Every structure is written in structure tokens, then in C-alpha cells.
């Protein structure tokens, strides 16, 4: 009877050890998933802020004539009638 109890105790102890090990592996995976989730949430917040900034810029381009004029002058080189446009050229660029 003692031998049977000893064998059962060893089996239960082995199962308990295996269960604890499996739990710890699962816990480590859960912790890594939590870290990854927080990183994704931070990236989402960053992208949302960038999106909001771009939406604000789009609205300015749609409605603000001063912004449109600045953009046309800077990117397209537009000038108003009567204005003179000067282009500064670096000396090393001329050959």
C-alpha cells in the first residue's frame, strides 16, 4: 500500500511540475504579447497624430488662400504680376 501511495505521489508531483512549467511558458508568452501590444498601441497613437496633422494640412490647403499662395510660390515658382523673381545660384553650381 505504501508503494502505491509513493508511486501515486510521484505521478502527481510529476504532473504538478509539468503543469507549473506549462503555466510559466504560457505566462512568458503572455508577457511578450503584452509588450508587443503596447508597442502596437504606441505606433497607432503616433500614426493617428500624423493622420490628424495631415488632415489639418489638407483642410488648410482646401480653405486657406494664403496657404495655397505660399505653396504655389514655393513649389511652382509663381509670382504675382509686377513682382520680380530672383534665383540665387551657387557659384560652384555654374559651369
* Cβ neighbours around 73 below 10 Å, total: 14
- pLDDT, average across residues 16-40: 88
Euclidean distance between CA atoms 81 and 35, whole angstroms: 59
Buried b (16+ CB within 10 A) or exposed e, 22-39: eeeeeeeeeeeeeeeeee
pTM of the model: 0.51
pLDDT at 23 over 90: no
Distances (CA, A) of 67 to 6, 7, 37, 73, 82: 85, 84, 39, 10, 21
Residue 94 has pLDDT above 70, yes or no: no
Higher pLDDT, 1 or 31: 31
Amino acid at each position: 500500500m505504501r508503494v502505491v501511495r509513493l508511486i501515486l505521489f510521484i505521478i502527481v508531483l510529476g504532473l504538478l511540475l509539468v503543469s507549473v512549467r506549462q503555466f510559466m511558458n504560457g505566462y512568458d508568452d503572455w508577457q511578450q504579447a503584452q509588450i508587443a501590444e503596447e508597442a502596437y498601441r504606441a505606433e497607432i497613437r503616433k500614426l493617428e497624430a500624423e493622420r490628424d496633422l495631415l488632415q489639418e494640412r489638407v483642410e488648410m490647403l482646401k480653405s486657406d488662400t494664403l496657404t495655397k499662395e505660399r505653396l504655389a510660390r514655393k513649389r511652382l515658382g509663381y509670382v504675382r504680376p509686377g513682382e520680380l523673381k530672383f534665383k540665387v545660384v551657387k557659384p560652384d553650381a555654374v559651369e
